[in-house]
Amino acid sequence: MRRTRREPGRERWRFSGYSSITSLRIADETVYAGSSDDYLYAVNRKTGNIRWRFQAGDSVNKIAMDGETVYAGSSDDHLYALNRKSGDERWRFQVDSTVETIAVDGETVYAGSLDYHLYALSRKTGDERWRFRAGDWVRTIAVDGKTVYAGGGCEDNHLYAVNRKSGDERWRFQVDSTVETIAVDGETVYAGISDGLLYAIPVGSDVSR
């Protein structure tokens, strides 16, 4: 079968929402787009045609997914779990401010919020398993082995290592600014912060795989 040649830099299609596109994820034949117009859109990857849309109560800022579920964090103080194919709501969980970051690992969904908390929720039901309070908003999350790593905002300036099962703090490491991003390789956690520094911090044998 002969394939149609696609010229680099040429538009294939465009999808017109009603406001800023804030977050994107791709799975199979669908592009998932969160928007500040309060919707999460599922768009056909080949044609740009809309498959479905889900309306939250405010801007959809963050998206994560696993298996048949897409998770949407909104400024309406909710985390939504939606059927990836239909857009039907499976469950929702309310926090006290904007959901800033989401991570999914195993049977747990982790959500960081501007309300200073890291939440661990059941992936299937949305029931809360535990919550951990940081010193400011939780900007970013990474999960590795037995530990969840969370970065605190500008009034906190800490990287936290939190027990994945209990939510208890294992240790914290102070930096000079907001923790913007985290990556883990099993032995070392790397933290990039807003003042331009990248830290490499040993995780300890008791918290790694």
Does 140 share its domain with 209? yes
* Residue 4 resides in a domain: no
The pLDDT of residue 4 is 54
Does residue 127 surpass a pLDDT of 50? yes
* Residue 2 resides in a domain: no
Does residue 142 surpass a pLDDT of 70? yes
Does residue 208 surpass a pLDDT of 50? no
Look up the domain containing 42 and give its range: 16-94
Q: How many CB atoms lie within 10 A of CB 192?
A: 18
Q: How many CB atoms lie within 10 A of CB 142?
A: 21
Task: Kindly report, residue by residue over 171-180, the tens digit of the pLDDT.
Answer: 999 998 899 9
**pLDDT band for position 56 (cuts 50, 70, 90):** very high
* Residue 1 resides in a domain: no
Counting runs of H as helices and runs of E as strands, what totals does the chain give? 0, 19
Higher pLDDT, 8 or 85: 85
CATH number at residue 190: 2.40.128.630
Does residue 119 surpass a pLDDT of 80? yes
Does residue 122 surpass a pLDDT of 50? yes
Does 182 share its domain with 120? yes
Q: CA–CA separation, 77 vs 57, rounded Å?
A: 9
